[in-house]
Amino acid sequence: MPSTRKRTQCALCRDAEPLSFAFSYAFQPIVDMRTRQVFAHEALVRGPAGEPANSVLSRVTADNCYVFDQACRAKAIEIAARLRMPSHLSINFLPNAIYRPELCIRSTLEAAQRHDFPVERIIFETVEGEQINDGKWLAEILTEYKRIGFKTAIDDFGAGFAGLNLLADFQPDMVKLDMGLIRGVDRSASRRAIVAGVVSMCAALTIDVIAEGIETADEARCLSDLGIELMQGYWLARPRFEGVVAEDELPGAMWLEADMT
């Protein structure tokens, strides 16, 4: 008789070859500027010694992407638990590598239980830069994840991959504005108008907005004026390899405390 683990996996993961390469994670904080606390750390894939993401992602193929996606989730949870991460953990996932959501999520639940990491502190966000083949399929995946208790986020909102049609079918907990909209927002009336429109729409849908890719104090000040409270970017903190960033290490948060309260 096949094991329980075998029965709860789809064939694409069960019958695949093990990964032939190692990887790890760096973690970049997402800061809540209202409370000046780290709301979440986004897990960003790196080589086993901190090599750039492309050194790993360039080895992901159609044959191993299912196993890689599952391994990524378990590894991120394992490291977060080891670091005693006090914040939420945001994990990118490959929507085109999900075959059966109710089965693919089980290894994640097992990892969370094994490492005693609360499910309600895990955020799943669509992986940056991946084109979604089927928006309705992505909505089904996110709906299943939300039903289980995970938080959900749409990455790169405004980049054209996951946009208004997806929001019509599914309302995630968060959307992350594409950094192309953030760059120079303080100097661009058109970008400010678009961001203001997204903030207003998301407020009506009870969706939190995260601004990522913030590199200057002026960008942060402008975004705060537009009503965005969750921020991420080099101005606040760079990703830390296998480490977390504490609130007292955030010079950006100190600046907001002095000038924006």
What's the rounded Cα separation, in Å, for the pair 71 and 257? 39
Instruction: Give 161-202 pLDDT, tens digit per residue.
Output: 556 777 888 899 999 998 889 999 999 999 999 999 999 999
Q: Rounded to an integer, what distance in angstroms lies between the CA atom of residue 137 and that of residue 18?
A: 27
Which two three-digit tokens encode residue 197?
């429109």
Q: Which residues of 39-69 are buried (b: 16+ CB within 10 A; e: fewer)?
A: bbbbbbbbbeeeeebebbeeebeeebebbbb
Q: Is residue 40 part of a domain?
A: yes
CATH at residue 11: 3.20.20.450
**Cα(166)–Cα(137) distance, integer angstroms:** 10
Give a yes or no: residue 208 inside a domain: yes
Q: With 90 as the cut, is the pLDDT of residue 3 above it?
A: no
Axis-axis angle for helices 106-114, 65-82 (nearest 10): 20
pLDDT value, residue 170: 85
Structural domains counted in the chain: 1
In a domain, 151, yes or no: yes
- Of the two residues 56 and 4, the one the predictor is more confident about is 56
Give me the domain span that covers residue 234: 4-255
Report yes or no on 89 lying in a domain. yes
Q: Is the pLDDT of residue 25 over 60?
A: yes
How far is residue 123's CA from residue 117's CA, in Å, rounded to a whole number? Answer: 12
Tens of pLDDT, residue by residue over 127-159, are 544 555 556 777 788 888 888 999 999 888 876
In this prediction the pTM is 0.87
Whether 205 contacts 167, CB under 8 Å: yes
pLDDT at 112: 95
Is residue 41, in this structure, part of any structural domain at all?
Answer: yes
The DSSP bridge pattern shows strands 37-46 and 24-32 to be: antiparallel
How does pLDDT run across 103-130, given as a tens digit for each residue?
Answer: 678 888 999 999 999 999 999 987 544 5
Tens digits of residue pLDDT in 205-253: 999 999 999 999 999 999 999 999 999 999 999 999 999 999 888 865 5
Q: How far is residue 126's CA from residue 157's CA, in Å, rounded to a whole number?
A: 10
Sequence-distant (≥ 6) Cβ neighbours of residue 118 within 8 angstroms = 112
Alpha carbon distance 160, 181 (integer Å): 12
- The conformation of residue 169, written as its DSSP 8-state character, comes to H
Structural contact between residues 225 and 191, judged by C-beta atoms closer than 8 angstroms = no
Confidence bin at 260 (pLDDT 50/70/90): low
Evaluate whether residue 260 is within a structural domain: no
Q: How confident is the model at residue 1 (pLDDT cuts 50, 70, 90)?
A: very low
Q: Is residue 261 part of a domain?
A: no
- Placement of tokens 């991120």 in the chain: 76
The helix (H) or strand (E) run that includes residue 29 is: strand 24-32
For residue 4, pLDDT beyond 50: no
Residue 180 maps to a domain: yes
